Structure 1
Amino acid sequence: MNPAPKPLRADVLSADPPGLKGIDCGQCHQRSFPARQNCPFCGSDAVEDVVLSPRGTVASWTVVHQAPPPLVTPYRLVTVDLEDGVRLLGAAAGAPQIDSAVEVELFEMRTDHDGDPLWWYRFREVTPA
């Protein structure tokens, strides 16, 4: 039996709780992605690791037609404003439009050399409750 999936990059994804890793600055109170030692807004090292909001809104999108392997084209690349104020890029499952509500989805992107699954993230459109 294979062990539980692990992040493709441990500095970007949290397995428990699942989500995107970021920081919350104790000086300027901004959140940012990915997690790092200093705030990119004010330079403070008074940062706390957090798991970012899983929900956001599509601000823009484009279709990627050329990419290096193992990426399969075409795919939709979206700019998302998360509910906690962080803006980031990511691939989209499906075809969300501008102002669509989306959430972070972790999925098995590939396997490592031992055959264990490696997770990555993408955004999936959600219907409001």
Structure 2
Amino acid sequence: MRPLAGVAGRNFGRRRVFNGKPRSPHSGADLAAPVGTPVPAAARGRVALARELYFSGNLVVLDHGGGVYTLYAHLSRMDVAEGTMVAAGDIIGQVGATGRVTGPHLHWGARIGEARVDPGRLLELLAGDR
């Protein structure tokens, strides 16, 4: 399940430029939404991380097993604790503008092992596997 219906910038993998210098590719999808919008878990999982980081702001990472992780960054509030289990659709936090951002949105990312993958594409693949 997609965590928000907000407009997604098709920016996964796009190389970012800061102060005229190329930086690492964008590692997720940015979903536009107002501050305070509830953010549901995309799938069942264990909360592997729920804390504030400099760039990501308030960040929740879910471990879905098999080396599959999803992450939810820039939250205004985190509503889960590390180690707890969540079901698909459970509210894990609220959209915010914490960390290094230009405005409120959800940065939604996914990893399989160490590889960053497009979270929307991952959902498509998983849905086709049913």
TM > 0.5 fold call: no
* Higher relative contact order, structure no. (Cα contacts within 8 Å, ≥ 6 residues apart): 2
Normalized per residue, which structure has more helix? 2
Asked which structure has the greater CA Rg, the reply is 1
Q: So what's the TM-score if we normalise by structure 1?
A: 0.31
Q: So what's the TM-score if we normalise by structure 2?
A: 0.30
